[in-house]
Amino acid sequence: MALQASNSQQPAADWDEAQCKGALAHLEKLQEQLDELRLTIPRIIQPLRTAHTTPAAFYADFRQAAVGANKNISKFKVVWQSQETQSIFEHAKESQKTDPDLSACVRVPKYGWVDTLENEKEAAGAIEKEDQVMMLKNEELDITGIVDAFKHEHPKFKVNLEADNQLIHIVFRLPTLLMRFRVVRRKEANGNYKLDAECVGKMPLFPAITRCLASRPRPNDLKYLLDMITAYTNTRRASCVKCTKLVDSSGMTPAARRSKRVESPEGASDIVWEALHERCL
């Protein structure tokens, strides 16, 4: 992100709307990194709670956890101390000196700026993009109906259907995390439609979730995909059903969700969603 203020280290006297949005998106990403650091202690102590076959394996596991945690803290420090972050703080300080009344900030959303910027970028290049990905209608699938039912089932989710019903944005807030998903329907050269899902964000967990979504069963089932996305509401709380741990050896919480059919004693059948680490799939 190229903020004008970051070039000079001097805060600009007046920022235009684009600069303010850019700064809010930058701070949102910084907050994501900070949220990720909350797992530092569980990651470090995880090897101490795990049985190891040899002292060497225990040492290697512990070392990896400690080094990984240290790397994450270093990365956060780099961004915190960067010219861009410091310029934003400096600008905020100057702005507060000029006008100490901060009451208007309660009307400004705290999250969603990264999405807003991405959407604006997308809208700017929408026509070109539409050509590239060949987003076309498929009359057979009632996308609006499926998405409306999904919205109704999950009133706390923010769900937007865009680009002629071929692009679905889903956002929901967890206690320490904002989850953002993007589902795109694309027509492939053979005429079939493909559903691509992405968990949007820079934190290592998010691309891992995207990879696990890509390897899901029933890849053409939109309703199934939306239910799978809903299963991420227990992100950071759900342990892996295979290894039973919260974090794996790389310090990652389960990035995959897979469905399992369970029978009740009365004979009724239901679907439950299980969490798995990417490497435990």
- Near Zn ion in 131-150, by CB under 5 A: none
Question: Of residues 39, 226, 240, 256, which one binds Zn ion by CB under 5 A?
Answer: 240
- Near Zn ion in 172-201, by CB under 5 A: none
Let me know: does 225 contact 195? Beta carbons within 8 Å. Answer: yes
Let me know: does 240 contact 248? Beta carbons within 8 Å. Answer: yes
Stretch that binds Zn ion, among 143-151, 155-163, 256-264, 272-280 (CB under 5 A): 272-280
Asked if 257 interacts with Zn ion (CB under 5 A), we say: no
Residue 274 Cβ vs Zn ion, minimum distance, rounded to whole Å: 11
Query: Could you tell me which residues come within 8 angstroms of residue 43 by beta carbon, excluding any fewer than 6 positions away?
Result: 65, 68, 69, 247, 251
Choose between 180 and 277: whose C-beta lies nearer to Zn ion: 277
Closest alpha carbon to 168 in 195, 131, 134: 195
Residue 240 is given by DSSP the state P
Asked if 242 interacts with Zn ion (CB under 5 A), we say: yes
Residue 247 is given by DSSP the state S
Burial of 274 (0-12, 13-18, 19+ CB in 10 A): middle
Stretch that binds Zn ion, among 26-34, 209-217, 261-269, 273-281 (CB under 5 A): 273-281
Residue 278 Cβ vs Zn ion, minimum distance, rounded to whole Å: 9
Q: Whole-angstrom Cα distance, residue 129 to residue 107?
A: 33
Tokens 């295979």 locate to 242
Asked if 277 interacts with Zn ion (CB under 5 A), we say: yes
Question: Of residues 44, 184, 243, 281, which one binds Zn ion by CB under 5 A?
Answer: 243
Residue 223 Cβ vs Zn ion, minimum distance, rounded to whole Å: 27
Report residue 270: phi and psi, to 5°: -140, 160
Choose between 186 and 242: whose C-beta lies nearer to Zn ion: 242
Residue nearest to Zn ion according to CB distances in the complex = 240
| Contact positions vs Zn ion (CB under 5 A) | 240, 242-243, 277, 280
